[in-house]
Structure 1
C-alpha cells in the first residue's frame, strides 16, 4: 500500500525539495514571531536540527526548517536563504543549552530574544543529584561485596543491615531515586519516611537535593526578571561556596547562559513545543515501523506539518 501511494497516488516524484531533502528542507513561509530550535533523531541515531513555529501548535505550518546534523554552519547556511527582512521579524527563539543552538539563533535572528529552556537547566540539576546518589550507591555495593567475601572466608552467612523502614542501605539508595525528582510537597508517606533516613545517612544527597529544588523554586515562583536575577545570583553564590563538584559545573553553565536563562521570565517561554513536536515525530516514525526511506519519510512528515 505504501509503495502504491509513494509511486502512484502521491506527488512524491515531483516534490520540489526532493533532491536535497535528505540534507535540508526549508519552508520560509512558516516563519513566525515565536520559534523553537531543537534536535531530534529520525533513524539510526542520525540527528537533525529542526526549527518550528510555535503559533502552529504542532499542526500544519509548524515546520520552518529541517537540517541534517547539528553543525551550526550548516544550519545557518540553510536558514539564511530566508530573506533577512523576514528573519528580523522574529521576536523570540527558545533553545536548549547547546552552544551550537545559541550560535544558530544569534546568527540567523540577530534582532530576536534568545531564551534558554528552563527545563534543560533543571534537568542538569536533577542529573547532578542522581550522580551523587549513584556515586554513593557504588560505594555501598563495593562495601557489601567485601563484607560478603569476608563472611565466606569465615564460613558465615552475610546479613545486610536493615534500616527502620525495612530497606537495606543498597535498597535505600536505589529506591530513593524517585523521590529525588519530586518536590517535598509531592512525596507520599513512604517517601517522606525514606527521605528522612536517606538524608540522615547521606547528607551530601540532601545538600544536592536542596540545591536542585532551590533552582526549581526560582523558576516556579518568580515572575519579575529583576527579582529572579537577584535570586539566581544568590543561588549561584551558595553553590560556588559549597565546592560541590557536580553543582559547580552546573553553576558555570548557568553563568555562561545567564542572560538567556533570565529571558524566560519575560514571557515564561520554554522549549516544550519543540519537545512535543519531537514526540509527534517519534510517533509518526513508529507508525512507519522505522525509517527505511528517509526522503519519503520527510516528504510525508512535511505534508502533515509543513
Structure 2
C-alpha cells in the first residue's frame, strides 16, 4: 500500500487522517445520480486507542484483534473538482475487544466529517455559504454537485439552529417594519426588528398585531427597555402607540423615504385628477393629455435634478430640455401649477433639512383656495407626525437597512417559489444576515 503524496492530500483536504491509498487511487465512474464522478479509494486501518464499550485501553493483541472490514465501504462526498463530484471511498477495518467482545471501527475526525454525515465539513460549509444568498435549494445542489435532499436537510438544520437562539439585549437604535411572509403565520404580515448600529436582525415574529408585539417586548425588563433611545419606523399608527407603551424613553424617528413618499403621492393624485378632466380623444386637450401621460415622471422629480440639455421630442415637435418640458406641462392647469410649485418647495426644504420652513409652508397651504382638499389633507397628515419628522431631519437614522432586508426576502421567496412554513423562511433570513459562516 502506498500513501498519496502530502501535497495532493492537502489539496483534497484529507491529510493526517490515517488513510492509506493504493497506487491507482483515482477512478472514474457514475454515482447514484448517474453523474460521472471522481472516486478516491483508500482504507482506514488504524485501530482505536480504547474500546468504546468497556473503555479498556488497547495496548496489544492481548486486548484486541482485527475482525475484518465493514460490510459496506464508507463514501464521503468532498467539494467538487473540475466541475465533477468527488467521493472518498474508504474500506474501514473493524476490531474486536477481547474483554467485552464488542466489534468497533475507528472514526474519522470531526474536523473532516461529522458523525452520521455523508458529506465533508468543507462541502457542508460551502452549502451554508450558498444558503446565505437568495439562491434556491435546487440551484445550490447543482452548484455544489450534491443531492437536493442533502441541501434540504442542511437548511432544516438552520431551522433548529435558529430556534435555539435566544434574543439578545435590546439595541440603542431599533429599526422596525413588516413584510409578507407565509400563509401559516398568525397575522397577515410578519414583523421584523433590526439593530440599526450593527445591521443584525434582533427578532422576527410571525405576527405584527399590537398585542403580540406588546407580549414579546414586555418580556424584557423595564431597565432593558429603557436602553432603547430611538425607534425608526414608517408612519404606521399601531407601531407608534406600541412604542410609547413598551419603550418609555425612546424617540420615534419617521423614515425619510416615507415622508417623501407621502409628498409624491399627494402630488401624483392632483396630477391624475387634472389629467382626467382633459378630453383625451381629440383636440388640443388630447395632446396635453398624451404629454402629461408620457412625461409625468419629470413632474415627480426635483426640478434641480432635471437635465438642462435640449433634445428633440416628437410630442412637442421641437427641441426641449427636461426642465423646459416640466415648466410647460404645469402651465396646462392652474391647480397643477400651484400644487407643483408647493411640492418643489417642500422637496427643497426637506432636502436641506429645514424643518421650520417645511412645516410653515404646509400650514400656509391649508388656507389655499386653489389646491384640492385631498392634497391638503395628505399634507396635513404630516403635521400630526411633526415631532418625529423633525427628529428624522436632525438624526442620521433611517429604515434603509430594514427595507433592504425586506427586498432580499422578496427575492428569496421568488427564487424558492415560496415557502410552506414560516420557520424555514425565518431561518434563511437569519442566516443570510449572519456576518460569518460557521458549521452548525
- Which structure ranks higher in relative contact order (CA pairs < 8 Å, sequence separation ≥ 6)? 1
The correspondence for 2:235, drawn from 86, 97, 102, is 97
* Equivalent of 2:351 in 200, 207, 220: 220
Q: Comparing both structures, which one devotes a greater share of its residues to helix?
A: 1
SS in 2 for 1:178: helix
- The runs of 4+ residues in structure 1 deviating greater than 6 Å are none
Q: Tell me if 1:40 matches 2:186.
A: no
Deviation at 1:171, TM superposition (A): 1.0
Q: Secondary structure at the match of 1:292?
A: coil
Q: Please say which structure displays the higher CA radius of gyration.
A: 2
Q: CA deviation at 1:256?
A: 1.2
Match of 1:90, SS state, is: coil
Q: Is the 8 A contact 2:162 2:430 kept in 1?
A: no
Q: Are 2:334 and 1:203 aligned?
A: yes
Counterpart position of 2:193: 51
> Cα offset for 1:213?
2.3
Identify the match of residue 242 of structure 1 among 368, 371, 378. 368
Question: Does the 8 Å contact 2:181/2:189 carry over to 1?
Answer: yes
Cα RMSD over matched residues? Answer: 2.6
- Give the length in aligned residue pairs: 271
DSSP-derived class of the 1:242 partner: coil
Provide structure 2 residue ranges, at least 5 long, that are not aligned to the other structure.
1-146, 311-320, 435-440
- Residue 42 of structure 1 and its aligned partner are, at CA, apart by 2.3
Task: Describe the shift of the 1:94–1:27 C-alpha distance in structure 2 as closer, same or farther (beyond 3 A).
Answer: farther
1:1-306, aligned counterparts within 5 Å? 1=147, 3-7=149-153, 10-12=156-158, 14-15=160-161, 17=163, 28-29=167-168, 31-43=170-182, 46-57=188-199, 62-140=200-278, 143-145=279-281, 160-161=283-284, 168-188=287-307, 189=310, 190-222=321-353, 228=355, 230-243=356-369, 244=371, 245-305=373-433
**Residues 88 and 169 from structure 1, CA distance in 2 versus in 1: closer, same or farther, beyond 3 angstroms?**
same
CA deviation after TM superposition for structure 1 residue 83, in Å? 2.7
> Contact 2:306–2:322 (CA<8 Å) still a contact in 1?
yes
Q: 1:14 to 1:133 in 2, by over 3 A?
A: closer
Give structure 1 stretches of 5+ with no counterpart.
19-25, 146-158
Partners of 1:43 and 1:139 lie apart in 2 by: 42
Q: TM-score, normalised by structure 1?
A: 0.79
Q: State TM-score, norm by structure 2.
A: 0.56
Q: Is 180-189 or 117-126 further displaced after alignment?
A: 180-189
